[in-house]
Every structure is written in structure tokens, then in C-alpha cells.
Structure 1
Amino acid sequence: MTTMLGYLRVSTEEQAHSGLGLEAQRDTIQRYADAHGWDVVWYMDEGLSAKSLDRPQLQAALTRLHVIPKRRDVDGIVVAKLDRLSRSVHDFSGILKLAAARKWAVVAIDLGVDTSTPTGKLVANVMMSVAEWEREVIGERTSVAMQAAKRQGRHMGRVSTLPQATGDRLMTLRATHTLAATAAQLNVEKLTTATGTVWTVGTVANVQKRLTAV
């Protein structure tokens, strides 16, 4: 039988209102699970926002999911609403990429995202494409601004150095992960590139090349 991690979250403000939403979230997930014949193992963060993925129970759930498929005892993570998992499109995109690389499912019931189904996987891919488009647009705008500044004789930007801890983490991940899985995990852990952007397959490959050349 399929076993999913049911993730529940309430912020400090919601918690102050007698745990507003916890039971509703649990009920929504349980009904969805019953309809699909799933067992559910519960993880819950109370009094924490979704501004980042740095939440104890969420990290525990992601760690449990990160085990290689043949040894993993669960099949994915399910939330009643996407904002229970993350309010950041980029964070959610990173989770989706990590899930695809490690072959576990992500389900956000309110949006119809269920990567265990073809339709849900399509919705997830659209969301990831939108996130990638947003990054490219931001990068293009930055490039245009820098070129304009250069023509005007102005310096724009700063010299950035990748923190050693981030470089060490990248190399550790690459020992057992593909380029795509490494990029996804670094994004999930909120470890940005030297310029503060999200990781892609290309940036992981380039940084690894530089680090191994030292």
C-alpha cells in the first residue's frame, strides 16, 4: 500500500487562534488519502511561517523522503494547501525537482498538483516552467541594466564569492547525486549561488569544475 507523509503547518498567528486550520488540513488530507487508498504518516510544524523551508518537521519529512527508492519506506508528501508547504514558487519548484530526481510524489490538493498522476505531473511541470521563466526574465533584465550601465561608464554589481560551506556541501552531494538532484537539494536547503540566485544544472557543473580545478 502507498504510504504518504501528511504535512500540516500553522503560523504563530494561526496558532494563537486555537490552532486554526490544523484539523481542517488533517481532514482534507485524510479524505484524499482514503479516496486513493493511502496510509498517512503525520508531520506537523506549529507556530512557523512558510517563508523558508527551514522548519524542523518539514526537514525531517524531506530527509525521510531523500532515502534511495529501494530503501525508502514512504512514497511522497501531501499537503492540503500549497501555502502549508511553501509560499515561494522557487522553493516549491526546488522540491518538485528533488522529488522528480529521487522518484517520490508531491501532492498539493488545493491546486491539483499530484505528481503520482499524469495530470498532476503536468500541472507541476507548468509551475516549474513558470518559475524558470521568471528567473530568466529577471536575469535578462539584470543583463540589460548592466550593459546600459557599462555604456555610461558606471560599474554595476559586485564581486561575489561562494561560501566555503556551500562549496563543500555541493561537492558532498555530487559524490552521490546527479547534477539535477544536487541543484534541487541546494535550492531546498536555501544555499544560493555566489550571486544569490538559485542553482541549475549548469551552475552546479560550473562550480564543481572550478572547485576541482583548485
Structure 2
Amino acid sequence: MTQRNSKPSASPRYIAYYRVSTDRQGQSGLGIEGQREKVRQFLSGAEGGYPPLYEFTETESGRKNTRPQLTKALAACRLHGATLIIAKLDRLARNASFLMELVDNSERCPRFCDFPSIPEGAAGRFMLQQMAAVAELEAGLISERTKAALKAKVARDGQWDRKASHHLVPGAGQKAALKAVSEKADKRAADIAHHIESLKESGITSLNALAKQLNEEGIATARGGQWTATAVRRVLARTASDAA
């Protein structure tokens, strides 16, 4: 994680996410610097020139759904009330179902520099579905050509892995309400833990320094208070316990 704008203000807030499939792509036109320049041009031309609050960089195939840096970027968006911004739609994902699940579960629809005029609502969602399908098709064709060139013979069953969706049943009563509150608290604790991990990567490591940084960024505790070293230790212990 890289912090680009150290003084968040009332201006539009953005968290940038960059992705390359391999280390070698860092030297190509679709490398990190190329994506960063697209985001810079977009924000300077349409959003008042404010740089993103943070930048997250991932080296991972667009067809894979395991994205630790994307998870951190989305957590930062929720904590700061920011919008995720991506240089190109296919840099976010080349898996249509993964992309649409991400969009549907985001508090704010991501912004794509190559498609700046996507409208809100059903029409915008339909457009994203079509573009995501094209990106997925392109990824599939690239994969097929690569395998043919390498004379690889990989068995395929033709089925896509799809994650099952889980919905809370209405009218489940007080237990369901308490569960929802607990899950919300767990999610916020996880978001804060992800952000703390990002801060550690940037060189802020002590509990006191982490608490100070969270307070300076305007991120309140679960009860709306100020962060202390003890509070930071507790949230880290909570998320560690959940992961165990």
C-alpha cells in the first residue's frame, strides 16, 4: 500500500487499485506506471486533481479471485467513505461473475478510467455485465492460444465455479438481528485489521503510532471514540481469534 494523499479533505475520495498478471508486465504498457498515469489523468481532468488517498498493487491473474490487496483496498474504501478507482476494467477482473459480485457488494460502484460515463442503476449494471463478459472472453481466448502454443493438453469440464450466495431470511427474529449486528461488527473489525496491516507495510508498526494514524485519518472505534494502543491491540486480537 502506498499513501498518496496524506491530508484527506471533503473532496471526492478515491482508493486506487492496480493489477498486473506477472512481474514481467511491470515493464510493459499495462504495467503499474501505465495504470497509475491513467488514474492521474482521469482524476486531474474530471475530479479536481485530487490524488487517491491510497494505492494498492496486486500481482495476480485476472481470472483468479484470491486478491489480498483488493481486499485491503475495499476495506480502505469502506473505512474512508471512498470510491475504488481502476485504470481499466480488465485490471479489476477478467471473471464476469466475480466482478459483478464485487460491484453488487460495494457501497459505491467502482470507477473505471476507460469507461468514465457508466450510469448508475440498472442500465449501468447491464453495461458492466456486457463489458465484464467481453473481458472474460478475451481472457479465455488468450489462455487457449497460450496452451496451444505450448502444446499443453489440459482437460476441461466446461463448467464455471460459482460461489453460492447466502441471504438472511426475513422475519428470523431477535437471534437473526443479533447475528447481523455481530457480523457487522466482525466485518468492521476485519476492515480495520486489513487497514492496520497496510499501515504496518508502510512503516507504521507500533501500537501507539497505529492508534495515532487511525485518529488522524478520522477512523473512529466501534463506539465512536478515539483509538488507543489498547484498542488497537484488542481489534487485532479479535480478528486473530476469528481466523484461528
TM-score w.r.t. length of structure 2: 0.44
